[in-house]
Amino acid sequence: MNLETTLAQSVTEAIKKLYGAEFDTQKIQLQKTRKEFEGDFTLVVFPFLALSKKRPEETALEIGEELKSNLPIISSFNVVKGFLNLAIAPSYWVELLKHIDATDKWGTTPVTEESPLVMVEYSSPNTNKPLHLGHIRNNLLGYALSNIIAANGNKVVKTNIVNDRGIHICKSMLAWQKWGNGETPASSGKKGDHLIGDYYVAFDKHYKAELSELMEKGMSKEEAEAASPLMAEAREMLVKWEAGDKEVRALWEQMNGWVYEGFDETYKRLGVDFDKIYYESDTYLVGKETVLGGLEKGIFYRRPDESVWADLTNDGLDEKLLLRSDGTSVYMTQDIGTAQLRFRDYPIDKMVYVVGNEQNYHFQVLSLLLDKLGFSWGKGLVHFSYGMVELPEGKMKSREGTVVDADDLMDEMINTARETSEELGGKLNDLTAEEKAEINRIIGLGALKYFMLKVDARRNMLFNPKESIDFNGNTGPFIQYTYARTRSIGRKAAEAGAKTTFTAPESISEKECNIIRMLNEFPAVVRQAGTDYSPSGIANYAYELAREYNQFYHDYSILREENEETKAFRLLLTDNVGKVIKTAMNLLGIEVPERM
């Protein structure tokens, strides 16, 4: 039972004893005492006046006396008009700190055999281009969300659906056929995903040139697009792929293989992984079969051009294309098939899709279609909708080659971390080059991840690399530095043979009480982050804890404290601040260095 609950129940018992009346514990109004008053918690007594039939000050005084007499954790109280300020005994905070220290994995809930199974889908890359800045936010949110859901006592399956088929894939394949001259990752020295991405850009370049030529001959833009020989070839290649053409399939497998090797390298570097990967080339046929089954049952209808549609107008939505006139599938068809395969493979209790907010309508439709098809889990799908990452220069466009590449961005962040560390001077001078490189990697990627995750996921965000790596303020490096500080203090204390056991100090400061109070709040923060699907809640808690500890470190002695009991207490406090910061950052997928 947490402290607030204990106090609320004691207030309920006091009211019953003093005034002979029952009062709903849930309606007890307790809040942290404002800094200008003495105390830890403030009780609002106005709701009890109808029961006491006395003035606010007298009622507060009576309740305060009753609580102090029967609740040893209350050391003193004071009354300010209709508010009762309660001070918690230092011994309570010390015992609470010992409890936090003794609790393995403080803040998290263990998984049991009965725990629900939650599947989280994130990443969803296309095999026609490398991962970019937008993918980074998706992967970091998905991975952090998976960790937070698991920390709340759920079994979690992290899954990825790879968009490995479709017209966009054929564009890269066709461009490589026409202009590649047999180029490979080995011959070019490029990562496979980067190589294929170059050909996707090349296709768009030639396609635009072709449109310009056709429009110069008098065609409108729409007429030119319809008449484009290059686009016609790409569509023809897609039809051949779906028909199982051996030559097209062989090229597809070869080029996708190059891309997967590149993806795996980027995922490993970013620190994310998956328990199960699905491929649209496997799932689209299941979806197509299901759609045709729905057509036979009258759930869907076929238009004169042979395309298949769902009419959702009675549900307040639109009509949705499910199969094109040439029989090829669309994303919705594939998602229907993927959902079926997942629920066939796992006893999923909840399915969470981590996909940008431009797909809100898509998932609204998907949930409705699955429900109409008779799948009981259709309406229970969760779309974790997040905002886009934007640059100062504006939106990114893959086909025009104006994206911020994920690999390049990680390189830039690590280089910036190295430059910043060198500017600060000297702190890593006694380390080897390899040790320095590892710390700079942790700092650079930590800065990137934290900057992405501290913002409410529902909001669009502007990414600023330089701002993210500042060693002061609400940044990853600031929190990492605080953790490294706690570890450094611990090492120095051990080297000096400092005492580690103690009895409760006679008094502890308000700052120390507040840090313990914050440590005690961590389990509730983790629960709330799981309920709200909000990694930013964990991120900002870690920052507030780090900031509070650094203020304490600035104002109070630790290693130089002469009173051995107080020193041992502050060392325990420091160690647990480090423990909770590390847990919080690890939930976000962020490493913390032992020294900086």
Tokens for 308? 């298949």
C-alpha distances in Å from residue 400, one per residue of 135, 233, 395: 17, 20, 11
Tokens for 108? 């998290």
3-state secondary structure of 261: helix
Identify which of 505, 124, 41, 586 has the alpha carbon closest to the alpha carbon of residue 352. 124
Number of residues that this document lists for the chain: 596
Q: Give CA–CA dist 117/150, Å, rounded.
A: 9
Is residue 342 within 8 Å of 348, Cβ to Cβ?
A: yes
Is residue 231 within 8 Å of 225, Cβ to Cβ?
A: yes
Is residue 499 within 8 Å of 508, Cβ to Cβ?
A: no
- The end-to-end CA distance of the chain, in Å, is 38
Is residue 468 within 8 Å of 450, Cβ to Cβ?
A: yes
Q: Give CA–CA dist 383/403, Å, rounded.
A: 25
pLDDT at 426: 61
Identify which of 465, 381, 448 has the alpha carbon closest to the alpha carbon of residue 120. 381
pLDDT at 19: 95
Q: Give CA–CA dist 209/203, Å, rounded.
A: 10
Residue appearing with tokens 């102090």: 68
145 CB contacts (<8 Å, ≥6 apart)? 120, 122, 352, 354, 384, 533, 535
Question: What pTM does this model have?
Answer: 0.90
Which helix (DSSP H) or strand (DSSP E) does residue 210 occupy? helix 192-216
402 CB contacts (<8 Å, ≥6 apart)? 396
Tokens for 256? 């996708």
3-state secondary structure of 350: strand
- What sign for the dihedral angle of Cα 106, 108, 112, 114? positive
User: Which residues in the chain land under pLDDT 50?
Assistant: 394-401
Angle of helix 535-555 versus helix 510-532 axis, rounded to 10 = 170
Tokens for 572? 């325990």
589 CB contacts (<8 Å, ≥6 apart)? 140, 143, 144, 147, 271, 272, 449
Query: Which domains occur in the chain, in start order?
Result: 3-88 (3.30.1360.70), 122-400 (3.40.50.620), 406-587 (1.10.730.10)
Q: Alpha helix locations (H) across 48-132? A: 49-52, 56-70, 90-102
Q: Give CA–CA dist 61/45, Å, rounded.
A: 10
pLDDT at 525: 97
Identify which of 556, 513, 515 has the alpha carbon closest to the alpha carbon of residue 38. 513
Which helix (DSSP H) or strand (DSSP E) does residue 578 occupy? helix 564-587
Residue appearing with tokens 């430059």: 419
3-state secondary structure of 13: helix
Q: Give CA–CA dist 46/565, Å, rounded.
A: 42
Note every long-range contact of 495-499, with CB atoms under 8 Å and residues 24 or more positions apart, other chains counting.
Answer: 496/559, 498/559, 498/567, 498/568, 498/571, 499/564, 499/567, 499/568
376 CB contacts (<8 Å, ≥6 apart)? none
Is residue 351 within 8 Å of 121, Cβ to Cβ?
A: yes
**Predicted confidence (pLDDT) per residue in 192-242, tens digit:** 999 999 999 999 999 999 999 999 999 999 999 999 999 999 999 999 998
**Predicted confidence (pLDDT) per residue in 68-97, tens digit:** 999 999 999 999 999 999 999 988 999 999
Note every long-range contact of 432-438, with CB atoms under 8 Å and residues 24 or more positions apart, other chains counting.
Answer: 438/593
Burial class (CB in 10 A: 0-12, 13-18, 19+), 186: exposed
Between strands 350-356 and 382-386, the pairing is parallel
